[in-house]
């Protein structure tokens, strides 16, 4: 094979097409591609920089931008073109502050403040929008008496000398309810409905950037104290940025408790691919009417949002009714202890 045919055939199709259009004889040039292959960028380089062929001339390879791993990760998440950024690190290396400058708050000449949606907040916004767009949400609400729940918690802490929260109790009760209503413990992904054997409860935790959902795995197999210790540990990690990916994986059902913010009721958004989420409102003193008698007690509102593609209203209502039953009869939780 002669040199002309060999070198021309070793050029990429795009390089050959461009060279033909420019009337360029590729047999006189070397390439910068793999194993010396002539690529389109080589043709452009020779056209712009050389007025005549030089057989031993090879265009310089484009040097990758120097960038720290953290800066690269931020740029990827925020979809920032690093080629347009001037690095301020050693030898022009791009550092994280160079990237962060691109997503700093944007100010105009009025008294308004504009902040670019970014980071965790951007991820949350995307996921919530996808959930509402893809899953037809239906929300059921019920008021439940919590007087016995308050008394049970106080008595438990007195007997066991161990502090538990209402969220700890709710996790245990939701896990027990899922055991009795397995059709709620499902997920839908790409038109495939999966029924799960493990009962893992996610708990929405507020932090400065937004919500994060650590998971209590195998909640149905844990005692109240084990749930409490696990939840406290993961909430602390969540608020200090130390949660591991494994701490947030494989959630089957989520609890979002806004009672501490004096919220009576709200419509929670499903944490897909889960099929349901429980919203918990604040506990208040209320008038209780029972057997034509009036008394003062504690009440709270539960809101169950579910994916209507996956389940109908009746099984969702039965599941919510079971949680209500446990709250009003917390002594039954003793039967669920391991």
Residue 28 CA, distance from chain mean position? 55
Give me the catalytic one of 107, 160, 308, 325: 308
Domain of residue 272: give its range: 135-336
- The answer to whether residues 177 and 323 touch, using CB atoms and an 8 Å cutoff, is yes
Q: Is 63 exposed, middle or buried (0-12, 13-18, 19+ CB in 10 A)?
A: exposed
Provide φ and ψ at 103, rounded to 5°.
-120, 20
Are 202 and 332 found together in one domain?
Answer: yes
Are 17 and 102 found together in one domain?
Answer: no
The CA distance from 306 to 182, in Å, is 14
Are 221 and 183 found together in one domain?
Answer: yes
Task: Check if 325 is active-site.
Answer: no
Interval 196-228: pLDDT, tens: 999 999 998 877 666 788 999 999 999 999 999
Q: Among 59-68, 145-154, 155-164, 171-180, whose mean pLDDT is lowest?
A: 59-68
Within a domain: residue 152? yes
Average pLDDT of span 77-92: 78
Q: What's the N-to-C CA distance of the chain in angstroms? A: 80
Are 297 and 154 found together in one domain?
Answer: yes
Q: Which of 7-21, 69-83, 291-305 has the highest mean pLDDT?
A: 291-305
Looking at the 3D structure of the chain, how many domains does it have? 3
The residue among 299, 304, 306, 302 whose CA lies nearest residue 283 is 299
Within a domain: residue 236? yes
| CATH at residue 327 | 3.30.559.10
Are 110 and 201 found together in one domain?
Answer: no
Are 285 and 326 found together in one domain?
Answer: yes
% of the chain residues with pLDDT over 90: 39
Within a domain: residue 60? no
Are 167 and 310 found together in one domain?
Answer: yes
Within a domain: residue 20? yes
Provide φ and ψ at 75, rounded to 5°.
-65, -40
- What predicted TM-score, i.e. pTM, was given to this entire model? 0.63
Are 43 and 112 found together in one domain?
Answer: no
- The answer to whether residues 246 and 233 touch, using CB atoms and an 8 Å cutoff, is no
Are 241 and 145 found together in one domain?
Answer: yes
pLDDT confidence of residue 199 = 95
Are 106 and 147 found together in one domain?
Answer: no
Average pLDDT, the chain: 81
Within a domain: residue 63? no
Interval 100-149: pLDDT, tens: 777 654 444 455 565 665 555 555 556 666 666 666 788 999 999 999 99
| CATH at residue 74 | 4.10.320.10
**278: which 2 tokens?**
């429980």
């Amino acid at each position: 094979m002669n040199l002309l045919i060999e070198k021309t055939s070793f050029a990429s199709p795009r390089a050959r097409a461009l060279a033909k259009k420019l009337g360029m004889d590729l047999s006189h040039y070397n390439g910068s591609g793999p194993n010396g292959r002539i690529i389109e960028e080589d043709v452009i380089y020779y056209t712009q920089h050389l007025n005549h062929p030089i057989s031993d001339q090879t265009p310089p390879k484009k040097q990758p931008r120097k960038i720290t791993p953290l800066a690269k990760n931020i740029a990827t998440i925020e979809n920032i073109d690093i080629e347009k950024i001037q690095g301020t690190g050693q030898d022009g290396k791009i550092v994280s502050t160079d990237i962060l400058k691109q997503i700093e708050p944007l100010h105009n000449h009025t008294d308004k403040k504009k902040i670019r949606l970014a980071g965790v907040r951007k991820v949350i916004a995307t996921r919530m929008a996808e959930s509402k767009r893809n899953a037809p949400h239906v929300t059921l609400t019920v008021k439940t008496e919590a007087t016995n729940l308050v008394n049970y918690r106080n008595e438990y802490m007195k007997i066991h000398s161990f502090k538990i929260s209402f969220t700890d109790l709710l996790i245990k009760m939701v896990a027990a309810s899922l055991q009795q209503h397995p059709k709620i413990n499902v997920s839908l992904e790409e038109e495939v409905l999966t029924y799960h054997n493990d009962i893992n409860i996610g708990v929405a935790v507020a932090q400065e950037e937004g919500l994060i959902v650590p998971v209590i795995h195998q909640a149905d197999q844990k005692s109240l104290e084990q749930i409490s210790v696990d939840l406290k540990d993961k909430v602390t990690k969540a608020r200090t940025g130390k949660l591991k990916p494994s701490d947030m994986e494989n959630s089957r059902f989520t609890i979002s408790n806004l009672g501490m913010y004096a919220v009576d009721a709200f419509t929670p958004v499903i944490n897909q691919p889960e099929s349901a989420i429980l919203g918990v409102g604040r506990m208040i003193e209320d008038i209780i009417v029972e057997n034509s008698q009036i008394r003062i007690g504690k009440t709270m509102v539960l809101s169950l949002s579910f994916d209507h593609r996956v389940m109908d209203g009746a099984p969702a209502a039965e599941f919510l009714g079971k949680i209500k039953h446990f709250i009003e009869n917390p002594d039954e939780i003793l039967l669920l202890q391991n």
